Amino acid sequence: MFCFQCQETAQCTGCTRVGVCGKSATTATLQDLLIYATKGLCEITTKLRQEKQDISRKLNQFICENLFITITNANFDDEIIIKRITDTLNYKQELFAKLQNKDNLSPVALWTTDDENTYLVKGATIGVLATENEDIRSLRELITYGLKGMAAYNKHANALGKFNDEIDSFLQATLAKTVDDNLSGEELTALALETGAFGVKVMALLDEANTSRYGNPEITSVDIGVRNNPAILISGHDLRDLEMLLEQTQGTGVDVYTHSEMLPAHYYPFFKKYKNFAGNYGNAWWKQKEEFLSFNGPILLTTNCLVPPKAEYKDRIYTTGVVGFAGCKHIPGEIGETKDFSAIIEHAKKCPPPTQIETGSIVGGFAHNQVLALADKVVEAVKSGAIKKFVVMAGCDGRQLARNYYTDFAKALPQDTVILTAGCAKYKYNKLNLGDIGGIPRVLDAGQCNDSYSLALIALKLKEVFGLDDINELPIAYNIAWYEQKAVIVLLALLYLGVKNIKLGPTFPAFLSPNVAKVLVDNFGISGINSVEEDIKSLI
Ligand code: FSO
Ligand code: SF4
């Protein structure tokens, strides 16, 4: 195996024997083959579109799910991945038959087999390292990871009934281009930036999907203690799954708590009507081994990030959607279908209530609508000098000790600075009680990682209010933490919006070759993190 798609990759170069995430070599190879088969399928769907033939929504969704399954910590279940490879090849055959012009198809599009036993042998020949030129490899992977993030956000929008054919067409055409040997480094670089443009579009689509169904996030205080009822913990990013779970738990005596990236659900007006929607339990994804144990009840994983579960609580893990782990119960249901959560609810009834690990509350809900409602106050605070600088500290949290930098950085920021955050990176400082500036909290949480879009909208609005020509003239600094591939699409989206001088940490992506990293440094001023003192000095 060779995988270097996430920040925790071994020695900051690549996982080669087993994933630091717990992914086995077999699973990694099967995931590589799933991506390879999907790239071939996308070449054919793209050609069919050129022939003005229709591609069904079902197929668009299937492609997005294939990508989403391979995001770090989403799916470890070989059986599921093998079935998806087979389904992908079957789709490919079906569409190939419809193709009028079958000339000039790549070997990737033409590859097929009806023998599942050959998957591992084939998978070992088509992985990341099969592209020999390290710069082409780097750009191909940068684009592929960005598209994985895009696919995840698109899937969430689709689950709420929002679709955009332009996004699906771009995603598939671009994925196919990552196996096109005729594309130069310059062309692939341009394609990576165009991927960022579609990153903005997909986050806008998801924002519309979320807010049209659940209302605009508003300032909300979320309890982090526990009640005395049996309960279900829901993790991941899928708000539609949460909605169905809350509907089905009404009147059962079972409470529902959010974990990690599901915390921002509390900020939406829609979910406040559910009396059993108890609060948030725990922290970012990587602390789940302790927190799932002490939660005592069943846990529903709706998307990444699942850490291979300990035996002590494995029987309490339920997966749904793209998530999978051999031996854990999977709750089925396609987009548009109502899932049946009765098994997990019955399970919860037999469990003791959660053990309290924290008390108090955290405040969030500062997505674009809420911040713009406070715009006068914010602009006044900037003009008066009460707020000197905003620091965008969005992104992901992770296990590495080096990430304590972000806690230290938040603590060391001067009192006249405000942190704008989104994603699970917030858990490094959202319980520090950093105070407020004239009633404006010093940590403004917009929501999940996709709500980084909100932060971009806020920046664009401030640019307009202050009458500036360039987003980079604003008193905003960017110190972003990344972990998995959704962060890649967020980063590409910010670059597309023209944001410069982003600090990216805790380490630079291993998949950026020195030359590709140089392009990002030279054109966008991206840099890594240094000591807290040095970075406070350079950013503030
Ligand atoms: Fe965190 Fe995991 Fe949302 Fe990622 S929970 S690490 S960026 O999935 O997607 O922020
Ligand atoms: Fe390694 Fe990350 Fe790939 Fe897992 S996802 S195998 S930790 S690079």
The Cα 220–Cα 365 span in angstroms is 6
Cβ of 20 closer than 6 Å to ligand 2, yes or no, is yes
296 close to ligand 1 (CB < 6 Angstrom) = no
Residues 6+ apart with CB under 8 A from 448: 237, 261, 264, 422, 423
Q: In what order do the strands lie in the sheet with 476-481?
A: 443-445, 417-421, 389-392, 476-481, 503-505
Mutate to test the pocket of ligand 1, among 71, 303, 428, 486 (most ligand atoms within 8 A of CB): 486
325 in any annotated domain: yes
Q: Please name which ligand lies nearest the alpha carbon of 3.
A: 2
Q: How far apart are CA 44 and CA 65, in angstroms?
A: 18
Residue 30: its pLDDT value, please?
98
As for how many domains the chain has, the answer is 3
Question: Do both 231 and 112 map to the same domain?
Answer: no
Q: Which of 291, 426, 483 to mutate to test the pocket of ligand 1 (most atoms within 8 A of CB)?
A: 483
- For residues 533 and 446, membership in a common domain is answered with yes
Q: 17, 20, 30, 399: which to mutate for ligand 2, most atoms within 8 A of CB?
A: 20
Distance 189 CA to ligand 2 centre (A): 24
Confidence of residue 19 (pLDDT cuts 50, 70, 90): very high
Q: Are 188 and 105 in contact (CB under 8 A)?
A: no
Give Cα 195 to chain centroid, integer Å: 15
CA of 485 from ligand 1 middle (Å) equals 9
What is the average per-residue pLDDT within 382-405?
A: 97
Same domain for 330 and 474, yes or no, is: no
Q: What is the mean pLDDT of residues 354-363?
A: 98
The confidence score (pLDDT) of residue 248 equals: 98
- Ligand sitting nearest the alpha carbon of 6: 2
Domain of 301?
220-349
Are 266 and 201 found together in one domain?
Answer: no
Residue 134: predicted pLDDT: 98
Average pLDDT, the chain: 98
- Identify the nearest ligand to the CA of 28 by its number: 2
CA of 390 to the centre of ligand 1 (A): 22
Ligand found nearest the CA of 71: 2
Within-domain flag for 4: no
Q: What is the CATH number of the domain that holds 126?
A: 1.20.1270.20
pLDDT digits (tens, 9 = 90+) for 202-247: 999 999 999 999 999 999 999 999 999 999 999 999 999 999 999 9
* Distances in whole angstroms, Cα of residue 86 to Cα of each of 5, 41, 381: 24, 12, 58
Task: Calculate the alpha carbon distances from 76 to 27, 260, 332, 341 in Å.
Answer: 6, 20, 16, 22
Residue 510: nearest ligand to its CA?
2
Q: Using 50, 70 and 90 to split pLDDT, how confident is the model at 130?
A: very high
Q: Which pLDDT value is given to residue 322?
A: 98
Percent of the chain with pLDDT over 70: 100
pLDDT at 371: 96
287 with 231, same domain: the answer is yes
The pLDDT value recorded for residue 211 is: 98
Domain end point (choices 213, 246, 261): 213
Reported ipTM: the value is 0.95
| Distance between Cα 236 and ligand 1 center (Å) | 8
- Whether residues 337 and 404 share a domain: the answer is no
Residue 357 domain-assigned? Answer: no
Mean pLDDT confidence for 10-30: 98
Each residue of 172-187: pLDDT tens digit? Answer: 999 999 999 999 999 9
CB of 158 within 6 A of ligand 2: the answer is no
Looking at the domain assignment, is residue 3 inside a domain?
Answer: no
Confidence category of residue 424, pLDDT binned at 50, 70, 90:
very high
DSSP string for 411-474: HHS-TTEEEEE-SGGGGGTTTS---EETTEESEEE--SGGGHHHHHHHHHHHHHHTT-S-GGGS
Interatomic CA distance for residues 92 and 43, integer angstroms: 10
Atom of ligand 2 at shortest range from CA of 3: 3
How many angstroms does the Cα of residue 242 sit away from the middle of ligand 2? Answer: 28
pLDDT score, position 53: 98
420 & 442 share domain: yes
Model confidence band, residue 491 (pLDDT cutoffs 50, 70, 90): very high
Closest-CA residue, ligand 1 atom 2, reads 305
Domain boundary, last residue among 213, 235, 252? 213
pLDDT given at position 212: 98
Is 16 in a helix, a strand, or coil?
A: coil
Give the pLDDT confidence score for residue 3 in this predicted structure.
98
Is the C-beta atom of 304 inside 6 A of ligand 1? yes
Per-residue pLDDT, 391: 98
The answer to whether the CB of 449 is under 6 A from ligand 1 is: yes
Same domain, 456 and 506: yes
Q: Is 27 in the pocket of ligand 2 (CB under 6 A)?
A: no
Which CATH number covers residue 370? 3.40.50.2030
Residues 382 and 257 reside in one and the same domain:
no
pLDDT in tens, 78-104: 999 999 999 999 999 999 999 999 999
Q: Are 257 and 293 members of one domain?
A: yes
Return the pLDDT at 121: 98
pLDDT band at 158 (very low <50, low <70, confident <90, very high): very high
Give the mean model confidence (pLDDT) for residues 356-371. 97
Q: Do 241 and 151 sit in the same domain of this protein? A: no
Residues 388 and 495 in one domain: yes
Last residue of a domain, one of 213, 228, 262: 213
- Hey, what amino acid is at 327? G
- The pLDDT > 90 percentage for the chain reads 100
